[in-house]
Amino acid sequence: MQSFKGKLAVVTGGGTGMGRELVRKLCAAGADVAMCDVSAENMAETEALCAKDNPHKAKVSSHLCDVADRASMEAFRDATLAAHKRDHVNLLFNNAGIGGGGSFINDTEEEWQRCFTVCWDGVYNGARAFMPLLVASSEGHIINTSSVNGFWASLGNGVAHTSYSAAKFAVKGFTEALINDCRLNAPHVGVSLVMPGHIGTSIALNSGKILGRGTALELSAEDVQAAREMMLERGLPVGNVPDDHIRAAIHQRAVDFRDKAPTSAGQAADIILNGVLENRWRILVGEDAHELDRLVRSDPEQAYEQSLVEKMYAAGHFGELVNTVGSEEANL
């Protein structure tokens, strides 16, 4: 695929973060875009941003959709074809994801499953719904977002991270298997696996809402107590800190995850789109992703030892990812 102009792109999770930036940049490049999200308000903001930079008058449509639900995804597919008056799509970005379900032992099965189904079933449902339409195009490309947690199932030794990591490993394996499948059965359809490191997105801010806990500022007393206990275990003197201060601290960590990331969502979108145009199947996003990939591959037996984290620190990575995000990703 030499250009996005005139193509029809589908982007899940287009309301914020990398999804929003993918929609914006595809639109600016002349692609028509159908995006879905669980927030109509967030998609309206994305559409407004697209309107400011749309030199080719590309069409952008928004669709409410829960990617974890097969029927919802199929309805999104049908609405996309109707809105854009097409019988095929050219690009599918299975991008939507949330955090949660950090501990298989301590967290509820409902929360664990919700994170897993959004992050894995969302990719599977997207591929099932739209793959026939990619095959029906003269040139197509499927882009699945995994994570560095698709090859390193951790956020550091102090934080459990099971549901998200399991889902992202599944996305990685499925996408790599699709490479040969498409070469055999749909050679005009390209495949790319995206593995971002720490990207400045709102995933830590939004996950609690989708999981039914509300924002960090709305955490229950029970959740605040769990957060307090984890902070105490990490040596933070929060024993007598008021609950609202704990809530504010967790909220600020989620904000810092977005605003202090080493790679912005816009930069990530550029890397992804350039990778698609270069027909690369393996797209690492961020210097931290490249370094972590190198370390895990060079000594797999040490992947879950403190020595790996120390090497990442020494290389100038992980400061914000482990220290800032840890408690939020552990469902505080």
Which residues are annotated as catalytic?
Answer: 164
Report long-range pairs for 106-114 (Cβ below 8 Å, ≥24 apart): 106/160, 107/163, 107/331, 111/163, 111/211, 111/331, 112/162, 112/163, 113/163, 114/68, 114/210, 114/211
Beta strand extents in 203-319 (DSSP E only): 263-264, 282-285
* Residue 246 burial (C-beta neighbours within 10 Å; 0-12, 13-18, 19+): buried
Q: Are 115 and 164 in contact (CB under 8 A)?
A: yes
Among 280, 196, 223, smallest CA distance to 13 is for: 196
* Residue 71 burial (C-beta neighbours within 10 Å; 0-12, 13-18, 19+): exposed
The rounded distance, in Å, linking the Cα atoms of 40 and 298 is 44
The rounded distance, in Å, linking the Cα atoms of 283 and 274 is 9
Residues 6+ apart with CB under 8 A from 50: 23, 24, 27, 28, 33, 58, 60
The rounded distance, in Å, linking the Cα atoms of 51 and 49 is 5
The rounded distance, in Å, linking the Cα atoms of 253 and 201 is 12
Residues 6+ apart with CB under 8 A from 242: none
Total number of residues shown for the chain: 332
Q: Are 107 and 155 in contact (CB under 8 A)?
A: no
Q: Would you tell me how many other CB atoms lie within 10 Å of the CB of residue 160? A: 19
